[in-house]
Structure formats: C-alpha cells, structure tokens
Structure 1
Amino acid sequence: MDIDNLTPQRIQSKLKSNYFELVKNEKGNNEIWINDVSLIGQKNENRLTDILEGWAACNYCYMAYRTHSKKDSDGKRKNHGLNGIHDHLKHCKCKLKSKISLVNNKQQNVQITTPST
C-alpha cells in the first residue's frame, strides 16, 4: 500500500472498519499524544503493527492528518507538525460529546450524604 497516495477520508474509513488501528505514540513529546491523538498502524503478515509513516489521527472521530509530507525525490519527508490536529481538536464534535458524557457520568456517581442527627 502506498501511504503517500492515501487520503484522510480513506484512512478514517479504514480506521472505522478496523483495517487500520490507532497506536499510542510512545515517543510523543506533545500533550495531545496522551489522550487525543494516535499514530496509525496496520497489522502485517506476522501480526506485528507497522506504523503508517507521516500520518496521525484523532482518537475520537478517527479523522486523519498528515504529520509529514509525501516523500520527495530523495526519499525524505518534511515535518508538518501537529497544527492541523490542534485546530481539529478545538472543534471535534466527537471529543465534545465524549467530555459531556464524562461529566454526566461523574455527576451520576456523586453520592450526597447528610450527617445523621
């Protein structure tokens, strides 16, 4: 599979169908790698996960973003960083729904006790 010819929509679809999987970035040096964003991987014939170089995805809606450019004629990539993902996370409806659900669950789990007299 030529990862340089994949589109964000195709990757998102393959993540939703479990053809690709989200992979925790153990080297992530940005806070969003902890909960919000993952690398994208695919199991190979040996059942090991190969990372799709140059891509990352939102953990909530699976929208994929390029972190690096396509390979140039020398086989090198330019780092695009995480700006696109940062912008996406500010408006991700799935992330917002997830946070609302967490707040509601916490409120339901709070027990109110009154002192006995």
Structure 2
Amino acid sequence: MPAGAITLYSIVIPPNSTDATDPNLTNVTLTDVRRLEPQFPLLLDSPATVSVVLNTLSANDYRLSFDVISAQGAPCEEKCIVPTSRATNGFTVQLASAADNVTVRWRASKLNN
C-alpha cells in the first residue's frame, strides 16, 4: 500500500494460482476491512445552530459578517457560518462544516437604526 492510502479490502491469492489452475478466481479470498460509520455525518444531517441576542434594532435588514478565529478537525471558512434567521433582537446561524470547537467573531452592521 502506498503511504497515506486507506485500506478497503484485503486479497489473498493462494500460491501457484494461475489462469490455468484457477481461471475464475474461485480460490482467491477477498476480505472487507473497511471502517464503516453509518451514523456519520450525524452533525451535518442536523447542523449545530446558535442564536445570538442583539440590542433591539428598528428592522432586521442589518448586515452580518463573520471571521473564523479557530476550528478543529476540519476546515471551516467564513462561508461555513450560515445565517438562517434574523430578527430585530438577534439572529441564528448554522455551522455548515464538519469542524469542531469553532470560534467565530461576528459583526452586525446597519447604517440607520
């Protein structure tokens, strides 16, 4: 196996196995060694959400910007922080990444309140 490869199957070919002695590969053993995780990605099926409270604004047309400070386990860019709802007193965001322990700096801006 090359370095960094993921083993999926193990194959055992008996000695002296040739096209003449075993033309249909009936004596060859193929073993599944994959690691199956049927519950993954549980978090992406039900994304993590956070609600943030704001001082009350006159309307919900404010602009939101996000900076990802840190994340563990997977890449997490600013586009992975997705606003899902806005209100005059707060907003809700979802994490669209497989990352863990994400720390985000956010800014809500509005020209006229």
Q: TM-score under structure 1 normalisation? A: 0.20
Instruction: Flag the structure with higher helix content.
Output: 1
Instruction: Flag the structure with higher strand content.
Output: 2
Whose Rg is larger? 2
Q: TM-score under structure 2 normalisation? A: 0.20
Higher relative contact order (CA 8 A, sep 6+): 2
